Chain A
Amino acid sequence: MSEHDTPAVKIADDPAFKLPTSLSSLSMPLCIGGVAVLLIGWACGSSVSAKFGMSAYLTAFMFCLTIVLGSLFFVMIQHLVRAGWSVVVRRIAELYMVMVIPLGVLFLPVLATLLFGNGTLYNWDDPTYAEKNFLPLAIWTEKLRWLNQGWFTVRAIFYFAIWSALAIWYFRQSVEQDETGEKAVSDRMQYWSGPAIMAFCGATSFAAFDWVMSLAPMWFSTMFGVYVFAGSVLAAHCTICITSFTLQRLGALRDEVTVEHYHDLGKFIFGFVFFWSYIAFSQYMLIWYGNIPEETHWIFERQLGAWGWIGIVLILFHWALPFLGTMSRHVRRNAPLITFWAVYLLIMHYVDLYWVIMPEAGSSMGGILGVISSLFCVVGMTAVMIGLVLRVADQTKIAAVRDPRLQESLAFENI
C-alpha cells in the first residue's frame, strides 16, 4: 500500500526492544551523581538565602514533574483517541510517567520546608507576612483557609495519589500486554482514559496553583494551571523525541521509530509551542487589560531588571524562533533537526519555569552562586530522573511489543 516497505513486527524478545547495555550501566552513576549535584546546587542556593536554595530546588522539581505529568497525559490521550501512530513511542512516555513516584519522594524536601521552615519557601506560611505587607486582613484570613500547612499537605498527598494510581495502573496494563498481547487490555485502557484525564487535569491544575502560584499568595490567575500544563505537554513531547532519537542512535528501535513518527512528534511540538504562547499571552493580556493592581503586580515584578529581559527571551525564543523553526515539514521529517529543537525547547521550558518561580525568591538572581545553584539543581534532578527511567527500562521492554496496533504504528505514514 505504501511506497517503501514497512518492517514486519519483530518477536517480543528481539534486541531492538531491549534497552542498550551502554545505557543500562549508566543508571546507577546517574542516580548517585544526580543526587550529589542536586545537593551541591541546593547548598549553593542556600548560601545565597534559604529561600533561594529551596526555590532553585522547586524549579528543578517542577521541571522534572512537568515532563513526567506531560508523559502521563500523552499516554492517556493516545488511549483516549485510540491513536495508532504512537504505539512505538508510547512505552517511552510510560517509562517517564512512572517517575511520578520517585518525584513524590523528591517533593518531601519542599513539604518539609513548609512544615518546619516557618515560611522559608511559601510566604503565606510566615505568620507576619500579612502584617509586613499591609494586606487586607479580611482577604488574608480567607486565603489562609486554603493555604495552610495541614490542608496543603493533604492536597499534595491527594495529587500524588491520583497521579501515581494512574501511572502505575497504565504502566502495569501495558507491561501485562507485553506478555499476553490481549486486545482487551487496550480496550480497558481506552475505557478508563476519559475519567483518568479528567482526574489528571484537576489534580495538575490545582497542583500548579498550590506549588507554584501560591509562591505569590495574593496573586491569582485561573489560567495558571493551563499555563503549566501547556509547558508540560510540550516538554513531554520533546522528551519523547529526544529519548527515542538517543535509543535509535544506540541501536534500539531502529526499524520501529521512523521519520513518520518524528514528523508527528514534531507536529505536536510545533502545536504546543503555539499553545503555550497562546495561553501565556491570554493570561498576560487579560491582566494587562484589566489593569487591577492585585493582578498586575506579578507581571510587573517580572518586568523589572533582568527578569524583564528573561521575559523578552521567552517571547522571542520560546515562541517566535521555535514557532518558525518547527513550522516546516522538512524540519519535522528530519530526526536530528527536530531533536535539536526538542533539546532547545526543553531548555526554554526550564527558562519559563525559572521566570515563573525564581522572582519570588528575591529580586536578584543571586549572582554567580545563584546561577550555579539553579543549573546544578535542574541537572542533578534530571539526572536522577533519567537514572531511574533507565533502571525501570532495563527491567522491561522499551516498546509496547504486543500492542494490537503495533503493526499500524509501524506502517504509519503521513500523507
Chain B
Amino acid sequence: MSENNEKKVHGIVAEYTSVDSLLNACRRVRDAGYKKTDAFAPFAVHGIEKALGIKPTVLPWIVFGCGAVGAIVGLTMQIWMNSIDYPYIISGKPMISLPAFIPVAYELTILFAAFGAFFGMWALNGLPRFSNPIFTDPRFDRVTDDRFFLYIDAKDEQFDEAGVRQLFGDTGTEYIQTVVDDDSSSKVPKGFFIAWAAVIGLSVIPVLVVLKMRLTKSSLPRFHVFFDMDFSPAKDAQQTTTLFADGRAMRPDVAGTVARGDMLIDMDYMTGIDMEALTQVDARRAERLVRSFADPSPQQEGEQPPVADTEETSAPAEKTAEETGVQEEATGETESAAPAAAPSVMDTTPWLTQNPLPLNKQLLERGQTYFGIYCSVCHGLNGGGNGLVNRRAQKILATNWIPPSKLNQPTLAQDVYPDGKLFNTISNGIRKMPGYAAQITTRDRWAIVAYVRALQQSQNASINEVPAAEREAILKQQAEVKKQLEEQAAAEAAQANAEPGDN
C-alpha cells in the first residue's frame, strides 16, 4: 500500500461480504456527509440509492423529452414528405391524414424514447469509459461474484485519506484499499488498428464499385437491380393475358357492380335530351339510348331489333355512333346548303333547352377551367375559333383541316342550338372534333356548356350589361390592353421598317 503513495490517489474502496453490511456501511458513509460515493454489488440491491443518498435520476425526463420529440418528428416528417415535398394521394385519403401517420409517429416515439433511455443512461454515467482505476485491484474482480464494495472518491469535498479509512474501519470491513492510477499500459493493441483499417477498407469496396459504374462508360447493357420494377409487367389497353381464362387484360365490371361515376341516375342529365319528349317522338330510339347507357357492352348490337327508321337505314355507318348518344351527320356545316327535305335527326331530337345544373359563379369557373384545358386549344380562349391547333393547321396548310367553329357565331346561339345539343356535341363530337365523354365528367361538360353561353354573351355584349360597380375596372383594363397592343404594333412596325434598311 505504501509504495503506491507517490501515484495519484483516486479514492478508497472497502470490501464487504454481505448486502446488509454493505447497506449499513452505505448509511454511515451517507450520514458522515460524503457525496461522491459509489457502491458495487453483483446484483441490484433494493434501497441502495436511499442508503447512499443518491438523488433521483433525471433520466425519466430525458426519456419523456425524447419520446415527445419522436412523436413530433414522426408527424412532421410524414406531413412534409407526403403532403408538401412530394404530394401523393394514397388510397384516396387526404394529403394530411392523421390516422395513417399515427403508426409511424408511434414507432418513432418508442424508438426515440428508447434511444433517450439508453444513451441518456450512458451520458449520465459518463460512459463509454474503457477503464477505471478501481480495476487495478485484482480483488475487485469478485464484485461480479460474491463480494460488495463501497467507494469514496478523492474528489469529494470531505475526502481525507485517514478519515475515510477510519470510517471504513468502523463499518467492520477487513479490507480497505486506496485506489491509485492504473499503471498498466494504455497502449491500444496493434491488432485493433489493423482490424479497424480492414473493416474500413472493406466497407469502401461497395461504394467504389457503385462509383465506377456511375462514372465510367460500358458497352454492356445496363445492370438491372430490380428487373421487374424496370420492366413492369403492367398491361396496356387491349392486350391479352394468361392470367384470366378469357384472356382479356382489361377486366369488365364485376356483375352487379357499377363503376364510380357510371351510375345511371338521370337520362336527361346524361344525354342532354328530354327523354320523355323523345319517347313520344321516337320510342324505339329512346329505348335504345337507355339500353346503351345501362349496358354499353358490344354484344348488345346483335340483339337489337331491326331498325325501321328510314333515316337510319340510309345512314348505317351512323348506327354505332348512335348507340352511345347522338352524333350529328358528318356533313356538318355544309349541310345547311343541302336541301332540307328530310329533317336531320339532330333537328328532330327534343334537346334540353336549359342547363340542368343551377348556374352560379362556381359552376362557371369550373367550366372556364375545363374549357381552358380541353376546348381552347382549337376554339381559342375566347371561343373565336383560333386556338393554337387551328393556327398551326393554317400555317402548315393542312389539307384535311376543317376549321373549328367560332363559338360566338349566331348559328350556335342558345335559341337555335339548345344547351342539350351543345352538350351532346361536346360529349360525342362533331366533324373533326372527337367526343369528350370519356375524358370530361358529365357535370364538367355541363359546366363547359354554361361557360360557352357566357362566352357567347361576352363576345356580343356592351359595357352597359356589366354591373355598374365593376364597369370602371373593366374600362381601365380595356384601356391598358389597348395601349399595350398599340405599343406592340408600333414596335413591330418599327422593326419592320428597320429590317429593310438593314438589307
Residue from the list A2, A285, A329 in contact with B47, Cβ < 8 A: A2
Output the least CB separation between B58 and chain A (Å). 13
CB <8 Å contact, B99 and A284? yes
Q: Does A268 contact B (CB under 8 A)?
A: no
- Given A1-B19, A3-B51, A291-B91, are A285 and B46 also a contact pair (CB < 8 Å)? no
- Given A285-B102, A285-B103, A288-B99, are A3 and B46 also a contact pair (CB < 8 Å)? yes
| Nearest A residue to B50, CB-CB | A3
Q: With the chains together, A329 CA to B64 CA distance in Å?
A: 13
| Nearest A residue to B90, CB-CB | A289
| Nearest A residue to B97, CB-CB | A288
Output the least CB separation between A266 and chain B (Å). 14
Output the least CB separation between B503 and chain A (Å). 71
Q: Does A162 contact B (CB under 8 A)?
A: no
CB <8 Å contact, A289 and B100? yes
Q: Does B127 contact A (CB under 8 A)?
A: no
CB <8 Å contact, B64 and A327? yes
* Chain A interface helix/strand/loop/mixed: loop
Q: Does A295 contact B (CB under 8 A)?
A: no
Q: Does B44 contact A (CB under 8 A)?
A: yes
Q: Does A191 contact B (CB under 8 A)?
A: no
Residue from the list B45, B46, B60, B102 in contact with A281, Cβ < 8 A: B102
Q: Does A415 contact B (CB under 8 A)?
A: yes
- Given A1-B20, A284-B99, A285-B99, are A413 and B60 also a contact pair (CB < 8 Å)? no
Chain B residues within 8 Å of A413, by CB: 46-47
Output the least CB separation between B49 and chain A (Å). 9
CB <8 Å contact, B46 and A415? yes
A404-415 Cβ-contact flags toward B at 8 Å (1 or 0): 000000000101
Q: Does B233 contact A (CB under 8 A)?
A: no
A278-303: which have CB < 8 Å to B?
281, 284-285, 288-289, 291
Which bracket fits the contact residues of B?
A: 10 to 19
Chain B residues within 8 Å of A3, by CB: 23, 46-47, 50-51
A303-340 Cβ-contact flags toward B at 8 Å (1 or 0): 00000000000000000000000011100000000000
Q: Does B92 contact A (CB under 8 A)?
A: yes
A1-20: which have CB < 8 Å to B?
1-4
Q: With the chains together, A284 CA to B47 CA distance in Å?
A: 44
B59-103: which have CB < 8 Å to A?
60, 64, 91-93, 99-100, 102-103
Q: Find the residue from A1, A329, A413 having the highest chain B CB count within 10 A.
A: A1
CB <8 Å contact, A2 and B46? yes
| Nearest B residue to A329, CB-CB | B60
A208-229 Cβ-contact flags toward B at 8 Å (1 or 0): 0000000000000000000000
| Nearest A residue to B64, CB-CB | A327
Q: With the chains together, A152 CA to B363 CA distance in Å?
A: 56
| Nearest B residue to A327, CB-CB | B64
| Nearest B residue to A285, CB-CB | B99
Q: With the chains together, A3 CA to B99 CA distance in Å?
A: 48
Q: With the chains together, A328 CA to B56 CA distance in Å?
A: 13
4 new A-B contacts at CB < 8 Å, known A3-B23, A291-B91, A413-B46: A1-B20, A289-B91, A289-B100, A329-B60
B residues whose Cβ falls under 8 Å from a Cβ of A: 19-20, 23, 44-47, 50-51, 60, 64, 91-93, 99-100, 102-103
Pull 19 A–B residue pairs with CB atoms less than 8 Å apart, ordered by A.
A1-B19, A1-B46, A2-B46, A2-B47, A3-B47, A3-B51, A284-B99, A285-B99, A288-B99, A289-B91, A289-B99, A289-B100, A291-B91, A291-B92, A327-B64, A329-B60, A413-B46, A413-B47, A415-B44
